[in-house]
Every structure is written in structure tokens, then in C-alpha cells.
Chains A and B, each alone.
Chain A
Amino acid sequence: MAKRVGVLALQGDFEAHERAISRAGAEPVQVRTAAELAAVDGLVIPGGESTTMLKLINYMELWESLRAFCAEKPVFGTCAGAILLATEVLNPSQASFGLIDLTVERNAYGRQVDSRVVDLEPVAEFGDRVGEGPVEAVFIRAPIIRRAGPGVKVLAEYAGDPVLVEQGRFLVATFHPELTKDSRVHQLFLSKI
């Protein structure tokens, strides 16, 4: 039976993640309520505006159910999702789930005119687990990981900063693998479920 992977569909590019999850061979499910969250095996927190997502989490009182889910199940955050999963957020400081030992600075490359597509050379272990070759990375008003704790494994860097990292069942990308055809990063997440 296909793994059921939730995509937090409060705001952002959740449909792009659904398509990426399907390409990687699992079943995507939109999650907007605690009941929908309870029915999935893992969760993707997509790109979008982290401030908007935080408002909706508060309005809908989803904070506790998300925290309980994250205490047991695998979670993958991209861009805004990375910001929500980090232990510390800068520029400005804001609330987060604090699940992966990172300090993340929002909008750290600048505004949209500074957004870009680059090819990353992931570490050898990434290639061993999901296949070799460069990863096309789309950065959109992206955050920068300013500090990664000792328990965090860096899988790829760009310009000296970690951009793809994991810690146990948590995976974080500051770029958007869901916006490309390459499904290896999503496969890596599925291997945790």
C-alpha cells in the first residue's frame, strides 16, 4: 500500500509538493485540520509565507496537534517549512516548532530579484541513498541556515551555507525540490516513513 503523505495546505505551494510526492511513488493528502493530520504517515510543510502559516495555525488552534504529530512522525520542511521547523528564527525572531537544531535567517539572500536556480553537489551519502548527480535547486526569497547543531547532518551546501540537512526523522531544504522534475529529495523523505 502506498504511503500516505500529508501536505500542510494552509497556504503556499502545497500542490507542487503533492505532484512531487506522487512522482516519488506515494499518495499525497492535503492537511488543513487535526482530523486530516491524524490520518497521514508523514508531513510536508511547504514553501509559502511562514507568517501567514503561523497565523492560520493559531487561528485554527492547530499548534498542539502539529506538535504532537511532529513528536512521533517524519516531517519535511521546504523554505517556509524549514523556518517553522527550526529551533531559532532570525530577521525577525518568530515562533517555530523547534524540532531541528538550526538557526535560520529569513529572506537572507534579499528580495525576489535575488532569487535564483543553481546546481548543487550533494555529499556522497545522498547519492548512495537516492542516486548520484547534481540537484537543481530553486531558491525563492530563501532563508539561510546560519547555524546547524552537532546532531544535524548536512547533505548539501550552497555558497558555504547548508541548504539540505537532516536530523533523525526531520528533513529540511531551504530551496524548493518540489518545483523541479527531480524527485530524489522527496524519495529521501519517503525513506524515513
Chain B
Amino acid sequence: MILNVLNDPNFKVKVGLAEMMKGGVIMDVINAEQAVIAQRAGACAVMALERVPSDIRKEGGVARMSPVRIIREIQEAVTIPVMAKARIGHFTEARILEALKVDFIDESEVLTPADDEHHINKGDFTVPFVCGARNLGEALRRIAEGAAMIRTKGEAGSGNIIEAVRHIRTIVKEMRHLTILGKEELVHEAKLLGAPLNLVEWVAEHGRLPVPNFSAGGIATPADAALVMQLGAEAVFVGSGIFKSDDPEARAKAIVKAATYYKDPIKLLEASEDLGIGMAGLDISKLPESELMASRGW
């Protein structure tokens, strides 16, 4: 293999920042004011966006990288890491975000894809990338391209946790399956997964991904955050769920507590007290196929 990402020293630095975000909550924000609220509530990072996914869904049109001015204002407003999204395959948007010194790039299905076959060759960059995945094969293809963090896609902007649950359960189940296979079976499994054999072997040996495995797409309550973490996610992204609720700061704090005390029902109860109404949410089974964001990515 020409480049094995797992032996690249720069990869250690990229995965290192992802490690620092474990047990935390990464919050979508659209301006400096929201970023300050997120930091004050205890976010471990913010994702700078022009529109949150539920508005992208509502308003339609092409969703692109955020305007530079918004990202800069957010970078100046907070001390925690600032992430930003680039379109799938749009490596020049990614180069601009890298030049802007964002701390992490999300090559995201929430934006309109720029390439319907290829993702960005992320190993070429100094800045780390996170990518969405619905299953193990997709996760390992993204890691082979250089992603330093994987998150479930879920269904962004839906306020509905069912897809994130499906994706984290699928990834965990597929990893568990690899750990009981013989070496010759892994070659066949790599073929079925459409993933490089060296990464399939690594997962078979360790029973986990070689990068942190987070969850995103539909988390709207402390209970949602705790659910995906109990299913194996190591941290959560919350998009529309915070700033589309009627009590953003209280909800942000509650989800931060839930991400730490996800196994403790009493503390989860305390975190869930006194919250107002969450975002409305969508029944994903009633959405037409063309409106699903999770099916973007290859």
C-alpha cells in the first residue's frame, strides 16, 4: 500500500485533536453570539455554519461552505476549536478553510455534494477532517482517504434520532462481526465492505475504529445524546437541536451533562428537568428519497 494513514505521524496529531473532543458536545452555530452561548454552556467545539440543517432542508437551494466572514467572527469570539463544513469532494473549499486555520473540516453530506463519485483526498491536508458514515465500509473508506474522525450521518435537521441509532448500531455490529472472523475470511469481508484490507484487519484486531467514532444527525434531547453514547458513540454533534429549541442555552447545558453522565439515569433525569419544547422534528419515513441527506456520500 502506497500510503498507510495509520503510520503517518501527521495522522497522530489529527486523531489527537479528535481524542480531545471525546465525551463532549460539538454544537452547530451560525454566528458569534451563538458560539459564545455554546462555549458558555460547555461545548467542546463549535461547527460554524451559514444555516443549520433544518433551515437548509426548508429553504432548499445549493448549500455551500459558510461565508469566510462568519467563520472568522466565530473564531474571534471563542477559545474552543472551530470546525466548518466543506461540500463532499470540494477540495478547494477545504483548502480555503485550511488557509483560514479552522481546527477541523467536516466533509459533510449536509451541504450539496460537489462530486458524485469522489471524496476529498484528506491525507494531503494538514488540517484534520471528520466524515459521516452509515456503515463500516463507508467509515473505513473515509479513513483510508485520511479522515481523523468518523460520525454517524443520522438524518441532519430532522430532530429524529432513528437514523443515527441505525448507523451507530450498524457500525458497532459490523465491527463486532469482524473480531470473530479468521484471517482468510477478512479478505472476503473487505471485498463485501468495499474497504481496504489493512483497515479491516486493524478493526478485527482492536474491535473499534482506528479513529474516534462520534454520532450526529437528529440529536435533540439529553436522552438522545445518552442513547447514542450508550450504543457506542464517543461524543455527539448537535445541529439544529439546540438553536431550534425554545431554550438553547439550557438545552445546550443539559446535553453537555448528558454526554458525560450518559450511563447515570439520576443525572440524566436532573439534566432533563425544566427543559422547554424541543425542535419539532420530522418523520423520516414520510420524506421523499430525494430529500434524504444521509444517502449523499459514496
Contacts and interface: CB of A to CB of B under 8 A. Distances in A.
A138 B18 CA distance: 13
B126 interface: yes
A56 B255 CA distance: 11
A14 to B, nearest CB: 7
B12 interface: yes
Interface stretch (B19-27, B114-122, B168-176): B19-27
A103 to B, nearest CB: 17
B294 interface: no
Contacts of A32: 260-261, 264
B213 to A, nearest CB: 12
Q: State the main secondary structure of chain A at its contact with B.
A: loop
B43 interface: yes
A10 B12 CA distance: 23
B44 A49 contact: yes
Interface stretch (B98-106, B193-201, B285-293): B98-106
Nearest to B24: A11
A13 B16 CA distance: 8
Contacts of A141: 17, 20, 81, 103
Given A55-B256, A56-B260, A113 B16 contact: no
B128 interface: yes
A48 B101 contact: no
A107 B42 contact: no
Nearest to A48: B20
B167 interface: no
Interface in A99-156: 106-107, 110-113, 115-117, 138, 140-141
B79 A47 contact: no
A64 B253 CA distance: 21
A51 interface: yes
17 contacts: A11-B22, A11-B44, A49-B20, A49-B44, A52-B256, A55-B41, A59-B42, A59-B257, A91-B79, A107-B79, A111-B103, A112-B81, A113-B101, A115-B13, A117-B9, A140-B20, A141-B103
